Structure 1
Amino acid sequence: MCLIAVAWRQHPDYPLIVIANRDEFFERPTAPAAWWPEMPDFLAGRDLRGGGTWLGVGRDGRFAALTNFRDPTRLRDDARSRGDLVVRAATGDLPAQAIGQQIAAERAHYNPFNLLVCDGEALVVVESMTGRCSTLEPGIHTLSNHLLDTPWPKARVARRGLETATGGTPDVDALIDLLHNDRPAADAELPATGVPLALERMLSSCFIRAPGYGTRCTTVVLRSADGQVRFVEARWNSEGQPDGRTDESFTVR
């Protein structure tokens, strides 16, 4: 996952609103979002190479999602799969702060990451680069491939769009369209993350289109105050065109 925006306790009827884009190589095998056969209370896509996922929800209303921290110099071939952290956080029964603290203590086993965990009562972020496990205040928060609320251009676009969405009944298709914005940032606004300038430009938009790489799916999660959850995953092909959709609704139990 490369861009996540979360409205936490900002909407009177929807305490949790999540919009997220997953950017990945198209050659990497992936299963569409579905209830996992071996974990029938867990709804997520699946990385068929690493075995984990980038974003998922449980029938108990737990939510977790992960972004990678972009720093090519810190990548290790022997690191554990970061996708396992989402499964662990979204299917466990510990409070969000407790599971976040456990994962923060084990961060050295993984390549750099940021993890969001929500148990319905608290929204927590774990930043492996800083070691922090923080409970977030109500508000709109963004994660891309740096630390929480770093104002990268794509994060600012997502934040503004989500701020507008919290003013009325959330429209899933409008939220998906919000993250379908493929306009790159101006060079003066680009971060310096250790990759070539041309790649920084390509990665600066909310929606990525590049040879062999790009936004594979956009996910919207809505949790209502009365315990209803809607999970929508819109998938995209290598041309940036629709390539399937998962739309699931359930009552938190």
Structure 2
Amino acid sequence: MCILFIARDQRKDFPLIIAANRDEFHARPTKASHIWSSHPPIFAGKDLKAGGTWMGVTRSGRIAALTNIRQPDKERQDARTRGELVVNYLTHKGSNPQFHDVLRRRREKYNGFNLLHGTWRDLKVYNNESDSLLSLEPGIHGLSNGALNDPWPKVSRGVSALSQYCSESDTLSEDALFSLLKDKTEAPESALPDTGISKDWEKRLSPIFIQSDEYGTRASTLLLVNRNGNASWSERTYDIQGQVTDQVTAHFQFL
């Protein structure tokens, strides 16, 4: 998962809105969102190469999502797969402080990541590079391949669009939120972040929705939770041309 936009307590009808894109190489095999046979059962997509996932939930109300931190000079081939972190949280049987203690003790086993995790009432973001744990305060947040709310052009663009939508729309439209996630606007070269990759790749990765022959946005996911804890999950899967090839919807009653 490469970008998430989160609205927390910005609407009375839906106190939590998560709109997320998963960016990945097109050749990497993937299974769309489904119920896993784990305990407790997870609802998530699955990376069929390494066995993890980028975003998922449980019926008890746990939520987790992952973004990688882009720092090619620090990438290690022997690192553990980051996708297992989402699974680890969703199946964790102990307390959150216990989970955070394990995260911190094992943080160097993984390449850079942000892990959004918690419940719809209480979400936190852990960054293993800075060893920081931040509570997600009420507001509109963006999380991409840097720190929480880093002002990368696509982060700022999505945060602004979601903020405007939450404040101006009387009802919540999934199509409107999917349109926000399908924004292919490239950032001007002068505004590109310097993450250690070529300027050509920085520009190619600068839109909210990435489209190229080898790498791009593979799926968009919406998680909407209303004030009664009723959650809806909607996921659209895309091909190389950015066309929808599959759609999954599910509904849960969170505790």
Same fold (TM over 0.5): yes
Q: Given that residues 81 and 110 in structure 1 are in contact (C-alpha distance below 8 angstroms), is that contact kept between their aligned partners in structure 2?
A: yes
Q: Given that residues 68 and 112 in structure 1 are in contact (C-alpha distance below 8 angstroms), is that contact kept between their aligned partners in structure 2?
A: yes
Equivalents in 2 of 1:95, 1:238: separation in Å?
41
Q: Given that residues 63 and 90 in structure 1 are in contact (C-alpha distance below 8 angstroms), is that contact kept between their aligned partners in structure 2?
A: yes
Deviation digits for residues 82-129 of structure 1 (CA, Å, limit 9, x no counterpart): 001011112334454553343133210101101101223311010111
Q: 2:53 maps to which residue?
A: 53
Equivalents in 2 of 1:10, 1:46: separation in Å?
30
Q: 1:113 maps to which residue?
A: 113
User: Secondary structure of 2:175's partner?
Assistant: helix
* Compared CA separation, residues 29 and 39, structure 1 to 2 (3 A): farther
Equivalents in 1 of 2:90, 2:40: separation in Å?
13
Q: 1:213 maps to which residue?
A: 215
Q: 2:126 maps to which residue?
A: 126
Map 1:182-201; keep pairs closer than 5 Å: 182-201=184-203
Q: 2:236 maps to which residue?
A: 234
Map 1:80-99; keep pairs closer than 5 Å: 80-96=80-96, 98-99=98-99
TM-score of the two chains, using structure 2 as the length reference: 0.95
1:9 aligns with 2:15: no
Unaligned runs of 5+ in 2: none
User: Secondary structure of 2:60's partner?
Assistant: coil
Deviates more, 1:19-28 or 1:86-95: 86-95
Equivalents in 1 of 2:59, 2:254: separation in Å?
6
Q: 1:31 maps to which residue?
A: 31
Percent identity (aligned): 40
Equivalents in 2 of 1:247, 1:39: separation in Å?
21
Q: 2:250 maps to which residue?
A: 248
Q: Given that residues 115 and 126 in structure 1 are in contact (C-alpha distance below 8 angstroms), is that contact kept between their aligned partners in structure 2?
A: yes
* Compared CA separation, residues 83 and 177, structure 1 to 2 (3 A): same
* Compared CA separation, residues 39 and 243, structure 1 to 2 (3 A): farther
* Compared CA separation, residues 95 and 158, structure 1 to 2 (3 A): farther
User: Secondary structure of 1:66's partner?
Assistant: strand
Equivalents in 1 of 2:157, 2:96: separation in Å?
28
Q: Given that residues 4 and 144 in structure 1 are in contact (C-alpha distance below 8 angstroms), is that contact kept between their aligned partners in structure 2?
A: yes
* Compared CA separation, residues 97 and 171, structure 1 to 2 (3 A): farther
Q: Deviation of residue 188 (structure 1)? A: 0.8
Equivalents in 2 of 1:99, 1:4: separation in Å?
22
Equivalents in 1 of 2:125, 2:48: separation in Å?
26
User: Secondary structure of 2:61's partner?
Assistant: coil
Deviation digits for residues 163-185 of structure 1 (CA, Å, limit 9, x no counterpart): 12323332111101101011110
Equivalents in 1 of 2:17, 2:26: separation in Å?
27
Q: Given that residues 165 and 171 in structure 1 are in contact (C-alpha distance below 8 angstroms), is that contact kept between their aligned partners in structure 2?
A: no
Equivalents in 1 of 2:151, 2:105: separation in Å?
27
One-letter code of the match for 1:197?
K
Q: Given that residues 115 and 126 in structure 2 are in contact (C-alpha distance below 8 angstroms), is that contact kept between their aligned partners in structure 1?
A: yes
Map 1:70-89; keep pairs closer than 5 Å: 70-89=70-89
Equivalents in 2 of 1:126, 1:53: separation in Å?
17
Q: Given that residues 36 and 43 in structure 2 are in contact (C-alpha distance below 8 angstroms), is that contact kept between their aligned partners in structure 1?
A: yes
One-letter code of the match for 2:166?
T
Equivalents in 2 of 1:42, 1:102: separation in Å?
21
User: Secondary structure of 1:166's partner?
Assistant: helix
Q: Given that residues 227 and 252 in structure 1 are in contact (C-alpha distance below 8 angstroms), is that contact kept between their aligned partners in structure 2?
A: yes
Equivalents in 2 of 1:157, 1:97: separation in Å?
34
